[in-house]
Copies of this chain bind each other. A is one copy, B any other.
């Protein structure tokens, strides 16, 4: 028996935990975390309200759990983008495509992050901010290793990384709220903007 095979006991617990997270994620498409009720979630899952406490202390706790899994997938996205070696037209095209694909595949997660980044629950806000800063650091490290950053101060590299991360977040939000079929236009604008930033970088 491999060490990560769970007993039916623990497996069942994880399944309802997952169900709670999924139900919350679904309900959060049309409201924000601070208005999401505990009973509302358990009702969707089909479980007694008290069962909620077997998994989370309160809604804020569940929110933080959602932040973690949302950003885990985001992290994969960043790594895919940064895997490219240089700052080129193809890299820009690929980045925007990766973002668009991510939004398509993880729509609920992205919406959750956009909504709760400045939302009403402090713990969740702080968890998202901390994680985005970590990503910024990661991007900065990758940028710093590139040829185009020769002679740049550490602060300037970090500033550029911040610009990229912010732009990525804005693009993802815009894609989220795009009218059906309007994603192409947004992606096109995003590519132009990245190109402009790229030129600014070359002439720093």
Contacts and interface: CB of A to CB of B under 8 A. Distances in A.
Interface string A166-204: 110010010001000000000001001100111111111
A91 B186 CA distance: 28
The secondary structure that dominates the A interface is helix
B129 A119 contact: no
Contact of A170 (B30, B115, B156, B166): B166
Given A114-B118, A200-B198, A189 B159 contact: yes
A10 interface: no
Nearest to A171: B166
Contact of A167 (B35, B118, B166): B166
A196 B125 CA distance: 29
A92 to B, nearest CB: 13
Interface of A: 30-35, 111, 114-115, 117-120, 125, 129, 156, 159-160, 162-163, 166-167, 170, 173, 177, 189, 192-193, 196-204
A197 to B, nearest CB: 6
Contacts of A192: 156, 159
Given A115-B120, A166-B167, A196 B204 contact: yes
Contacts of A34: 31-32, 34-35
Contact of A119 (B32, B159, B201): B32
A204 B32 CA distance: 41
Nearest to A192: B159
Given A119-B32, A170-B170, A196 B129 contact: no
A164 to B, nearest CB: 10
